[in-house]
Amino acid sequence: MLEKLAIEGGTPVRQKLLPYGRQSIDEADIAAVVAVLRSDWLTTGPNVGGFERAFAEFVGAKEAVAVNSGTAALHAAYHALGIGPGDEVIVPAMTFAATANAVLYQGGTPVFADVERDTLLLDPADVAARITPRTRAIAAVDYAGQPCDYDALRALADAHGLALVADACHAPGANYRGRAVGTLADLSTFSFHPVKHLTTAEGGMITTDDAELARRMRSFRNHGITTDHRQREERGSWAYEMVELGYNYRLSDLQCALGSSQLKKLSGWVARRQAIAARYSEAFSSSELLSPLRVQPGVSHGYHLYVIRLNLARLIADRAAVYSALRAEGIGVNVHYIPVHLHPFYQQRPGNAPGLCPVAEAAYHEILSLPIFPAMTDDDAESVIRAVGKVLEAFRKN
């Protein structure tokens, strides 16, 4: 006999909602922040460079530039590449809006490309079809934590003289064919929002092996000024020069101290995410009602998200009904993402009509992100598995 769904008055699997993601903060993190509060430098101080060096070393890049959000990281990357009016940047339709928005900040045009059905990663074949003489860069998104096909994308970029940007906000600690995320593109961007792998409350980072691009981004994050307050203090000078139009995208010492403390635990957190994902994949491997996204050979997945795709042909409910039923069971599922070109803002721009990226558009109606974060217990994971089974069996077509 089927269990009565909580949304219909039954007993929920969980009494307290399990979120899809959340930060982990321990006493070492708190102590690191308190130490900065007791110091002379709350911003533009030594913790900024320390965090940058530690992060660059972690991913194996020569340079890392800290900024105050993942969006700022994308903006700084596009600025460093010289993206401007008349330039096009190819971005996947299945991503958070910031990947495309930051192109517009520079006066460029985001061109949406479709994704592969079984991974929801940027489809190199569709990218190739959308390259024009105005294309300046390709922005790949490591959706859910899985690196894109960087060999194929690099070949395309090199053949057409394009820059390759990695929106790696989902994937710190992941790797592709033995190469770490953060080293796979000309510029790689990261986010330190609380639901991501490590947090600075809000924050971001760009990694690169190009010292000139790093220099441009450091100026850009500081109003376009060539020195910061601490550098002038060390020189005993008041003078500074603004050489270009920049923004205040600085990340404070408080946040960098937190980031440095969190970074020490990142490898263990990635391993825990992978363990939870393995438990999910085993539980769902034989299901007729859903399918997890495919993991490509030779990839170590970072699992910012664990995304399932509903087999709606075998269900009497749509994704919205499944979403509501799982939330009622205490499972904080989410949806990542509405294809960017379908947002009202982008619908007002030429060329972004429905049907532009049919694979991403179809996936949007079928996907759900399940809870996954390092502090989850095995019992938490089992409650997710139980709730998914309970809800989908209740909605199974006879």
Please work out, in degrees rounded to the nearest 5, the angle formed at the alpha carbon of residue 208 by the alpha carbons of 207 and 209. 140
Distance CA(174)–CA(165), nearest Å, equals: 16
User: pLDDT band at residue 237, thresholds of 50, 70 and 90?
Assistant: confident
Q: pLDDT tens across 176-202, in order?
A: 999 999 999 999 999 999 999 999 999
With contact defined as beta carbons under 8 Å apart, do 6 and 239 qualify? no
196, 264, 265, 390: the catalytic one is 196
Sign of CA dihedral 372, 182, 62, 250: negative
Q: Is the pLDDT of residue 238 over 80?
A: no
How far is C-alpha 160 from the chain's CA centre? 26
**Nearest residue to 1 (alpha-carbon basis) of 393, 289, 385, 398:** 393
User: pLDDT band at residue 3, thresholds of 50, 70 and 90?
Assistant: very high
The confidence score (pLDDT) of residue 235 equals: 81
Please name the residues in contact with 135: beta carbons below 8 A apart, sequence gap of 6 or more.
Answer: 87, 88, 89, 90, 111, 160, 162
Return the CATH architecture of domain 27-263.
Answer: 3-Layer(aba) Sandwich (3.40)
Distance CA(14)–CA(17), nearest Å, equals: 7
Q: Domain residue spans in the chain?
A: 6-23+266-394, 27-263
Q: pLDDT tens across 335-385, in order?
A: 999 999 999 999 999 999 999 999 999 999 999 999 999 999 999 999 999
Residue tagged 């790696």 (tokens): 168
Return the CATH architecture of domain 6-23+266-394.
Answer: Alpha-Beta Complex (3.90)
User: pLDDT band at residue 122, thresholds of 50, 70 and 90?
Assistant: very high
Instruction: Tell me whether the CATH fold assigned to 6-23+266-394 matches the one assigned to 27-263.
Output: no
Q: Is the pLDDT of residue 220 over 80?
A: yes
Sheet holding 204-208, edge to edge: 63-67, 204-208, 187-191, 163-167, 135-141, 88-92, 109-113
The confidence score (pLDDT) of residue 1 equals: 75
Q: pLDDT tens across 250-281, in order?
A: 999 999 999 999 999 999 999 999 999 999 99
Distance CA(202)–CA(280), nearest Å, equals: 29
The confidence score (pLDDT) of residue 301 equals: 98
With contact defined as beta carbons under 8 Å apart, do 91 and 103 qualify? yes
The pairing of strands 135-141 and 163-167 is parallel
The confidence score (pLDDT) of residue 177 equals: 97
Q: pLDDT tens across 141-180, in order?
A: 999 999 999 999 999 999 999 999 999 999 999 999 999 9
Q: Look up 196 and say whether it is catalytic.
A: yes
Q: pLDDT tens across 37-72, in order?
A: 999 999 999 999 999 999 999 999 999 999 999 999
